[in-house]
Amino acid sequence: MPDSVENEKNYVNASLLIEALMLEDIDSFRKEFVELHPYDQAQFYTGLEADIRPKVYLYLSPEEMAGLFENIEIEEEEYENLLAEMAPAYVAEMLSHMYADDAADVLNELDKEQAVSYLTIMDDEAAKEIKVLLSYEEYTAGSIMTTEYIAISANQTVRSAMYILKKEAPQAETIYYVYVVGDDRKLVGVISLRNLIIADDETMISEVMFDRVVAVSVSEDQEEVARKMRDYNFLAVPVVDFQEHLIGIITVDDILDVIDEEASDDYSKLAGVSDLDRVDKNPFAAAKKRLPWLVILLFLGMMTASLIGRFEETLSQKAILAVFIPLIAGMAGNTGTQALAVAVRGIATGDLEEESMWKLIIREAGTGLITGATCGILVTFIVFIWQHDLVLGLLVGVSIFATLIVATLAGSLVPLFMHKMKIDPAVASGPFITTINDIISILIYFGMATLFMSYLS
Amino acid sequence: MPDSVENEKNYVNASLLIEALMLEDIDSFRKEFVELHPYDQAQFYTGLEADIRPKVYLYLSPEEMAGLFENIEIEEEEYENLLAEMAPAYVAEMLSHMYADDAADVLNELDKEQAVSYLTIMDDEAAKEIKVLLSYEEYTAGSIMTTEYIAISANQTVRSAMYILKKEAPQAETIYYVYVVGDDRKLVGVISLRNLIIADDETMISEVMFDRVVAVSVSEDQEEVARKMRDYNFLAVPVVDFQEHLIGIITVDDILDVIDEEASDDYSKLAGVSDLDRVDKNPFAAAKKRLPWLVILLFLGMMTASLIGRFEETLSQKAILAVFIPLIAGMAGNTGTQALAVAVRGIATGDLEEESMWKLIIREAGTGLITGATCGILVTFIVFIWQHDLVLGLLVGVSIFATLIVATLAGSLVPLFMHKMKIDPAVASGPFITTINDIISILIYFGMATLFMSYLS
């Protein structure tokens, strides 16, 4: 019973809340609702039927709705519907109470016109911050950072820093790191709240701050940011522009989402799904996402078919040759996918540095040699015992041997080459490598079969 | 130039450090080294040659080495080597200075005897804590939690809580959440340091604490813990035993590792690699990890081959049939992998609840129908134009249609069934589904071909 704690305590008393909404009993509703964690509020809210949902806006202030919206998890297209239920002025005020990065995320899901209209009626200060965040390219540090950080100067005491911190705590996205900037807003240091609390009140910040700050550039890839935060165990990392001015921070909760997203992305590409559809989607939406891949693969498969067509003569003389086509193509596909997965993950996790690429290629050639030899010998024996034909056994065995070497190499070379060309290597997904290796393996197999035709019994 | 900041500032002056080690210049070494972030220290240390590395122990205290070891990232088998270089008493003291969860992680990598011998010479208090952590099952909340948290009582003032916090800050793994416990150590509330700082000094903790604490059970799966922390944006989550006593906390940095691990795990299983080998491994180690899969797949492939062998008669009459084997088997494999990926990720991310499983199956049947019809019609046309044989076109087209429906269903049914049987559905990896679908597709194709043989031109 791993969930015993969960089940005993029911965090959300949903039936009580729904009843209060039905009876328009604002007091009972608020008494229960505002006590909830914003994530639970959001879960309850998105689970409501559309006819009762708008009542929530009547009972909660835009500021309270802001906390809820920061924790919402819905499909992109649903934002539009939810916001359409509220008065535009209410939306604008809610957005201005949200952390700038979360507000920018919401606006990013709307169509451009709609987003601009909310920004127009919004508080100027908030709108300006959000507009800046909206201007950064997707998947960069800039696009996931927030501007609500706490910055102090190096020549002030710990006591005065704590005073600033107390004052800014309600607004800042994190107060657990305080960044130290020079007169020109250049980032010069960082101090954790833990160290501030331990330090003596009269100490100068310059004495206790850590001055080798690890920062990320605003244009850095979000995956790279995630890697740094994981390596350094940071709760937040500062973002600087090209002149090293502090312009924002990225907090660890956003990084959890990035890691999840990127992992799902690599995974779905390996499987040949353009984007992992949520399970509640309808079959048409799911088919729409998968068909592009399937059709491309269909055409690649037709190429393989036409290639085999050239050996129809050989095939009609020795029908038994056809029996081993799926085996050889399948082994090539599997071994290629293995090599691909190692290379793609190596690149994604940063394990694979420039200088180790050649090492990897040589290593993979060796791996192909070993797996090829093992499987080749095994197959030769099995086919010989099954078909009582040593030449056929050798033909299939040697084909497997050669195929595994080439397929393993192809599996690692293709993603490495794409990485060099600055293309996301995960695009060279499983199905592509599989098809390339299908073609290679069939060329090897039928090429050899045609050569040794006369020796086959 | 996304890395401009990185390149300008060189965090680690490696050449200076190595020179200092060579010259046995302890002062220069320490002056530079102790200023570094522990992660950078660990990176430098693990990059050192074995002949020079032991000098580091002479220049750093066990406490300083503890910080470094908490941030180390090496292969499991390397721990033994590193620790063997140090004096056992040094290791024991280093381990007792580490956070209990990190120390337990290190000991977990050693063989049992070795671990016990370090625990024996260790400080009793520290050894006891570590032993408790070592006793929890792998992949549960207990195995990743730490015991260095701060707990206070509800009937004390904010001022006295801050006093406890200041005192315990150097030892605690996080001070950003303070947990409130009753007399029996039952968890009754939580308060963030942010709220403590904002609150008035004389307020009672019971008035400002959040009493609907989200906790995890000690036996809960680490993946489930990760999901909760991501959903609630926690920096730490309390761990309770079956009587709801607070026994530890899990911090977000450990969760980042869990998410990464689980994603890599799912990914490698989809690719059919038992474990993603690091790029610096030799080809024998790599081949050893991949061969088990390849040999299993080889035997499954032989089954497919023997299945086609039964249709040798059909094949020798119409060699052209062989041409489409890889196309049909390939499409079945691809569509099955797509469906599998959606189901596995749906289960992993918790999107897929009990009640939505039937929905998913019906949805996938519909998706298979749509993709099957589209690809089937397309293939019929292509084959007809290419081979001028409508019956052949229809045969291949209808086979693709039937195959895609069955393969899509198989791709989602297999992981769902495994999940029901409490088997990790990711084990039903890509290659397995592909092979099952190979067999199904060949049965459909040759079955139909044998039936309609007489109509083929």
- Tens-digit pLDDT profile for residues A353-367: 666 788 888 888 998
Q: Where residue A380 falls among pLDDT bands split at 50, 70, 90?
A: very high
Same structural domain, B423 and B308: yes
Which residues 318-377 of A have a C-beta within 8 angstroms of B?
Answer: 319-327, 329-331, 333-335, 337-338, 340-342, 345-346, 349, 351-352, 356, 359-360, 363-367, 369-371, 374-375
pLDDT in tens, B123-166: 888 888 888 888 888 889 998 999 889 999 999 999 999 999 98
Interacting residues of B144 by C-beta distance below 8 A, sequence separation 6+: B101, B222, B225, B250, B254, B258
The CATH number of the domain holding residue B37 is 1.25.60.10
Of A281, A330, A431, the CB nearest to B438: A330
**Other Cβ atoms closer than 10 A to A252:** 24
Same structural domain, B382 and B412: yes
Task: Specify the pLDDT at position A4.
Answer: 33
Of B4, B256, B301, the CB nearest to A230: B256
Same structural domain, A292 and A251: no
Q: What separation in angstroms does the CA of A57 have from each of A35, A89, B128?
A: 17, 12, 53
Residue whose C-alpha is closest to residue B246's, from B321, B187, B298: B187
Contact B279 A342 (CB under 8 A): yes
The dihedral region occupied by A319, where left means phi > 0, alpha psi between -120 and 50, and beta the remainder, is alpha
pLDDT in tens, B34-56: 888 888 899 899 888 888 888 89
Of A210, A322, A375, the CB nearest to B325: A322
Kindly give the parts of chain B with pLDDT less than 70. 1-11, 272-281, 349-355, 424-430, 457
Residue position matching structure tokens 């293709």: A414
What residue spans of A86-137 are helical by DSSP H? 88-97, 100-109, 112-121, 124-134
B-chain residues near A378 (CB < 8 A): 295, 298
Contact B242 A4 (CB under 8 A): yes
Same structural domain, B108 and B192: no
Q: Is residue A227 part of a domain?
A: yes
Same structural domain, A123 and A223: no
Q: How many domains does chain B have?
A: 3
Show the tokens assigned to B255. 């969760």
Q: Is B385's Cβ below 8 Å from some Cβ in A?
A: no
Of A214, A283, A430, the CB nearest to B11: A214
SS3 content of chain A, % helix, strand, coil (to 5): 65, 5, 25
Of A255, A272, A327, the CB nearest to B334: A272
Task: Specify the pLDDT at position B51.
Answer: 87
Average pLDDT for residues A258-282, to the nearest whole number?
A: 70
Q: Is residue B3 part of a domain?
A: no
Task: Specify the pLDDT at position B2.
Answer: 33
Is-contact A338 B324, C-beta < 8 A? Answer: no
Same structural domain, B229 and B369: no
Which residues 283-322 of A have a C-beta within 8 angstroms of B?
Answer: 283-284, 286-287, 290-291, 293-295, 297-298, 301-302, 304-306, 308-309, 312, 315-316, 319-322
Contact B287 A431 (CB under 8 A): no
Same structural domain, A129 and A182: no
CA atoms within 13 A on the CB side of A238: 31
Same structural domain, A91 and A213: no
CA dihedral A86, A91, A97, A99 (to 10 degrees): 110
**Does residue A65 carry a pLDDT above 90?**
yes
Same structural domain, A413 and A293: yes
SS3 category, B133: helix
Q: What separation in angstroms does the CA of A260 have from each of A41, A77, A265, A340, B313?
A: 23, 20, 8, 21, 52
B-chain residues near A229 (CB < 8 A): 256
Q: How long a stretch of residues is chain B?
A: 457
| Chain centroid to CA A406 | 31
SS3 category, A179: strand
Q: What separation in angstroms does the CA of B243 have from each of A11, A37, B237, B249, B250?
A: 18, 23, 17, 16, 18
The CATH number of the domain holding residue A426 is 1.10.357.20
Q: Closest-CA residue in chain A for B285? A: A367
Is-contact A343 A409, C-beta < 8 A? Answer: no
Residue position matching structure tokens 């009547």: A58
Contact A260 B349 (CB under 8 A): yes
Pairwise CA distance, residues A83 & B105, whole Å: 47
Q: Is residue B446 part of a domain?
A: yes
Q: Is residue A384 part of a domain?
A: yes
Q: Is residue A325 part of a domain?
A: yes
Average pLDDT for residues A375-384, to the nearest whole number?
A: 93
Q: Is residue A270 part of a domain?
A: no
Same structural domain, A399 and A449: yes
Contact A338 B271 (CB under 8 A): yes
pLDDT in tens, A288-301: 777 877 888 888 88
Query: A322 vs chain B: nearest CA distance in angstroms?
Result: 6
Pairwise CA distance, residues A132 & A142, whole Å: 9
Same structural domain, B306 and B235: no
Is-contact B380 B394, C-beta < 8 A? Answer: yes
Task: Tell me which residue range forms the domain holding A98.
Answer: 4-135
Pairwise CA distance, residues A19 & A24, whole Å: 8
Contact A294 B224 (CB under 8 A): no
Pairwise CA distance, residues B152 & B129, whole Å: 20
Pairwise CA distance, residues B130 & B119, whole Å: 8
Interacting residues of A118 by C-beta distance below 8 A, sequence separation 6+: A83, A88, A91, A92, A95, A107, A110
Is-contact A237 A216, C-beta < 8 A? Answer: yes
Which residues 179-208 of A have a C-beta within 8 angstroms of B?
Answer: 193-194, 197-198
Task: Specify the pLDDT at position A405.
Answer: 93
Task: Specify the pLDDT at position A279.
Answer: 53
Domain boundary at A230, A261, A292, which? A261
Which residues 101-130 of A have a C-beta within 8 angstroms of B?
Answer: none
Interacting residues of B270 by C-beta distance below 8 A, sequence separation 6+: A267, A270, A271, A341, A430, B337, B340, B341, B344, B426, B429, B430
Q: Is residue A193 part of a domain?
A: yes
Long-range contacts: A421-429, Cβ < 8 Å, 24+?
A425/A343, A425/A344, A425/A347, A426/A265, A426/A266, A426/A269, A426/A270, A426/A344, A426/A348, A427/A269, A428/A340, A428/A344, A429/A269, A429/A270, A429/A271, A429/A272
Same structural domain, A301 and A396: yes
Q: Is residue B143 part of a domain?
A: no
Task: Specify the pLDDT at position A310.
Answer: 86
